Copies of this chain bind each other. A is one copy, B any other.
Amino acid sequence: MSKVATMREAVADLVRDGDTVAIEGFTHLICFAAGHEIIRQGRRDLTLARMTPDVIYDQMIGAGVARKLIFSWLGNPGVGSLHAVRRRIEDQEPGPLDVEEYSHFGMVCRYVAGASNLPFFPIRSYFESDIPAVNPRIVPITSPYEDGDEVYVVPPLKPDVTIVHAQRADRDGNAQIWGLLGCQKEAAFAAERVIVVVEELVDGDVIRRDPNRTVIPGIVVDAVVEEPFACHPSFAQGYYDRDNAFYLAWDAIARDPKTLEGWLQEWVYDLGSHADYVEKWGAEHWASLKPGPAPSGEVDYGMYA
């Protein structure tokens, strides 16, 4: 059963005001196009979850879609700060932002617990750290075995919607990813609704030729959106490079609420879709981000008939 939709349709159908939304992808495969569409459709009061809020959540929070942030590392990777988020937290400008923070491993394990229908997940972290003191959802428990070791547990995180990007998927939503995997699988399985955005929609036979490459099965997917370059300025391994220049440029854009607002107007509100965004950047820009070839080689599954 085909789940193919446009980004506009997928966001309109599946992302609702007040939802907990996770757009996951650790540096790699961050679906900026979905964030832009959520901004364009004017969603409000979202709780945004991500290990690394990254520039995408700085844009979304700058645009006013969120009331709360769940995260583990709040920065512009390799550059510095997320200024829009910092203004909300430090100056409560233009209003306060609830924060709930973990370490990376804690966030990952929250998704694992959510994906696994577990009431909690144990980890050996947070010892002698102040993090549990400011987040009462991180609690110690004691091993029932002879060791009696104390560990901490984190609660499941079950987003209302998880949005992930993959290099390719079939029309049923069976998605394959290579390169960095982050926690997309766990975040997708943990969610009530899942949108998979891909560089390329492919025939089911392409997926079935290499079933070990499938990271997210269609069974958990509600909508599949084909949207090339949807991760820019993040990247899709083998398709285009990270636009580090944009990450650096964002620092100046976001420092001033006015330039941020101007950027949103020009690059989100004034555009009808991600296709317009791709066109506005221009073919030369995309050509400059194209990597050389590095083929994986292939393996043989064997035909057993």
Contact = CB atoms under 8 A, between A and B. Distances in A.
Interface stretch (A93-101, A144-152, A257-265): A144-152
Contact of A212 (B137, B147, B181, B241): B181
Interface in A103-126: 117-124
A133 interface: no
A78 interface: no
Contact of A300 (B122, B149, B295, B301): B295
Interface stretch (A7-15, A55-63, A277-285, A286-294): A286-294
Contacts of A206: 297
A126 to B, nearest CB: 14
Interface string A180-214: 01000000000000000000000000100110110
A305 interface: yes
A143 interface: yes
Given A296-B299, A302-B294, A143 B120 contact: yes
A238 interface: yes
A151 to B, nearest CB: 6
Contacts of A293: 300, 302-303
B298 A298 contact: yes
A141 interface: yes
A293 to B, nearest CB: 6
A144 B149 contact: no
- Count the copies: 2
A256 B91 CA distance: 81
A292 B299 contact: no
A239 interface: yes
A213 B118 contact: no
Nearest to A302: B291
A85 interface: no
Contact of A304 (B145, B176, B181, B241): B241
A301 B145 contact: no
Contact of A305 (B122, B153, B213, B292): B292
A92 to B, nearest CB: 29
A167 interface: yes
B120 A301 contact: no
A237 B213 CA distance: 15
Contacts of A300: 238, 293-296
Contact of A299 (B151, B167, B291, B304): B167
A205 to B, nearest CB: 9
Nearest to A236: B302
A149 B296 contact: no
Given A295-B209, A297-B209, A298-B296, A119 B151 contact: yes
